[in-house]
Structure 1
Amino acid sequence: MTQKTTSIPGQFRWSFLLPQYWGIWIVICLLMLLAILPWSIQHRLASALGRFAFKSLKSRRKTTLRNLELCFPEWDTEYRYQQAEQVFIDMMIGVFETLNAWYRPQWFKQRVSIEGLEHIQQAQAAGHGVLLLGTHSSMLDAGGYICAQYFDPDVVYRPQNNPLFDMLIYRCRATIYANQIDHDDMRGLIRHLKNGHAIWYSPDQDFGLKQGVMAPFFGVAAATLTAHRRLLKISKAVAIPLYFYRYGDIKDPRYKILIQAPVTPLPSEDELSDAIRVNQIIESQLRIAPTQYMWFHRRFKTRPEGYEKLY
């Protein structure tokens, strides 16, 4: 019987030098070159690439438009289309911001402000871990980097399918996050919370109803994760909403970290009530900068019997 081998996250393999990975190495080199470009060129490239992606990725465009239609019914058709295109542009801008966070972090100097840091500090001083309730923002790891200027965040991550990309991303994130916790490592996640760590966690995507309930999101029933209730109950951690976003002139952007007071009581005795509260928190965050969210994911894909299909 052969023993199963497990790879160590971020570990280099000699197999990465085989021809099957050469194309990826070229892409990696290209990304590193893009990271050293002036911001004036980066944001122009991002705008052009975002518009191209919006026109080319028809399925993602359709999903984005449908999500915005469901969540912002007050927007007229023309404005909704403009905002959908901006979602793709902001996604590409977020890619360049991530590259800057990985390879040129000094670019963010004097561009970041924070509000509510005392909520994390007080919770940790009282011996509690902190589960930071956030969203899948298009700022990607740039948001993690700007948070790391003020406190030591951990992150829950999902390994990439391609092992070379997974190694690259893991190593780059290691310069930002204190710890990276595999999404399947629940014991590790609980251990870090019990040890007083602050962990970024995003319960804002549709993973079905095995670990969730149907709860309103922007007034539309959506499969909503409830796993964080168990994490909080077992670890005695505190749930604190965190949101980071870009604002101001895109030619000279600024970044804001918004940390709100702990959500109490969470968990309560009512699973549905907790899901509704968390969704309301996420809604309020997204209304600050709507196009900086990954609306191209099918947030309402789970439709149990009795619920109308939306896509």
Structure 2
Amino acid sequence: MSQKQPYIPGEFQWEFLLPKYWKIWIAITFLMLLAILPWAIQWRLAHGLATLCWHLLKSRRKTTLRNLELCFPEWSTAEVEAQAKQVFVDMMLGVFETLNAWYCPKWFKGRHSIEGLEHITQAKAQGKGILLLGTHSTLLDAGGYICAQYFDPDVVYRPQNNPMLDMLIYRCRATIYQQQIDHDDMRGLVRRLKDGGAIWYSPDQDFGLKQGVMAPFFGVPAATVTAHRRLLKISKAVAIPLYFYRYGDIRNPKYKVLIEPMVENMPSEDEVEDAIRVNKIIEAQLRIAPTQWMWFHRRFKTRPAGYEKIY
């Protein structure tokens, strides 16, 4: 009896035609149809879906409200709720924007701009690999597509549990990114950085203290990953902050990529100080468009002994 061949990212397998995958095929076909709808209709659908999710996803709603209360204490209760609802709207808009990036990229023509591209150009001229310190933006792959109009980005990704869904997403992303590197493939990440790649990496989520240290995030102690320090140290790459966001009239949106100067002395000898610096960079980015980040993630779930529970 022959053994099942290991799954290769992006590779089609005949078993994907079996009935158990038909629901996914139907869903993907439906999403492709949504991508060709006019933005005005997508905008209305996003708002309707956001309202539905706000009422149905109670845990995510509570997490979003709690995160915003902690990180923006200057906001009133009414402002926190209004901004939290906008997070859900931006998330749904981001889904449609990602579908547009995958299936109808011409929609973005004339809608985007970039600031600070010279920082990437200079690093590449020096033969340096680049770790682009970004965030888990609600724009999702739409942001990656916009970046790809100005330089060749790679991305760190987490494989989907469903192999067919992973294949479909991988293939869609292959039209945007030069390479997609598994988040567990440290050797691949280092190799790509040594080869001069520019990798979008988001050190803005809570993965516990086995992979990080406690450092303030908007003034609240948070588990902060430190893996990027090892990547930079081994590969001799440079860290450059990257942020992209939507602005202007939401019914006729524009998109901007903001690239900041290289982070000096990164990594230093102090991993906590490095974590603090990275968190401050992310904080400054998020203040530009506060609701375009995944606040429904439990950013403060790790609470060591002596720390008060957040959720």
Q: TM-score, normalised by structure 2?
A: 0.99
Task: Specify the code of the residue in structure 1 equivalent to 2:186.
Answer: M
Provide the secondary structure at the position in 2 that maps to 1:196: coil
Provide the secondary structure at the position in 2 that maps to 1:24: helix
Paired position in structure 2 for 1:174: 174
Q: Distance in 2 between matches of 1:129 and 1:291?
A: 31
Paired position in structure 2 for 1:283: 283
Paired position in structure 2 for 1:299: 299
> Counterparts of 1:1-311 in structure 2 under 5 Å?
5-311=5-311
Deviation at 1:164, TM superposition (A): 1.3
Q: Distance in 1 between matches of 2:155 and 2:219?
A: 29
Task: Specify the code of the residue in structure 1 equivalent to 2:130.
Answer: V
Structure 2 portions without partners, runs of 5+: none
What do you get for the CA RMSD once the two structures are aligned? 1.1
- Classify 1:3/1:23 alpha carbon distance in 2 versus 1 (closer, same or farther; 3 Å): closer
Q: Distance in 2 between matches of 1:73 and 1:291?
A: 15
Q: Deviations over 1:262-292 (max 9, x none)?
A: 0011000111000000000000000000111
Q: Distance in 2 between matches of 1:5 and 1:11?
A: 11
Deviation at 1:2, TM superposition (A): 8.0
Provide the secondary structure at the position in 2 that maps to 1:107: helix
Deviation at 1:159, TM superposition (A): 0.2
Q: Distance in 2 between matches of 1:4 and 1:235?
A: 36
Q: How many residues get paired?
A: 311
Deviation at 1:86, TM superposition (A): 0.5
Structure 1 portions without partners, runs of 5+: none
Deviation at 1:14, TM superposition (A): 1.1
Task: Specify the code of the residue in structure 2 equivalent to 1:31.
Answer: L
Q: Deviations over 1:205-264 (max 9, x none)?
A: 000011200000000000000010010000000000000000000110000000000001
**Is contact 2:154-2:198 (8 Å) kept?**
yes
Deviation at 1:55, TM superposition (A): 1.1
Deviation at 1:5, TM superposition (A): 3.9
Provide the secondary structure at the position in 1 that maps to 2:46: helix
Task: Specify the code of the residue in structure 2 equivalent to 1:245.
Answer: Y
Q: Deviations over 1:39-60 (max 9, x none)?
A: 0100111011111101110000
Q: Deviations over 1:108-145 (max 9, x none)?
A: 00000000000001001101000000000000000000
Identity of aligned residues (%): 77
Q: Distance in 2 between matches of 1:241 and 1:4?
A: 42
Q: Distance in 2 between matches of 1:207 and 1:221?
A: 14
- Classify 1:195/1:64 alpha carbon distance in 2 versus 1 (closer, same or farther; 3 Å): same
Q: Distance in 1 between matches of 2:25 and 2:292?
A: 29
Q: TM-score, normalised by structure 1?
A: 0.99
Q: Distance in 2 between matches of 1:6 and 1:245?
A: 38
Provide the secondary structure at the position in 2 that maps to 1:258: strand
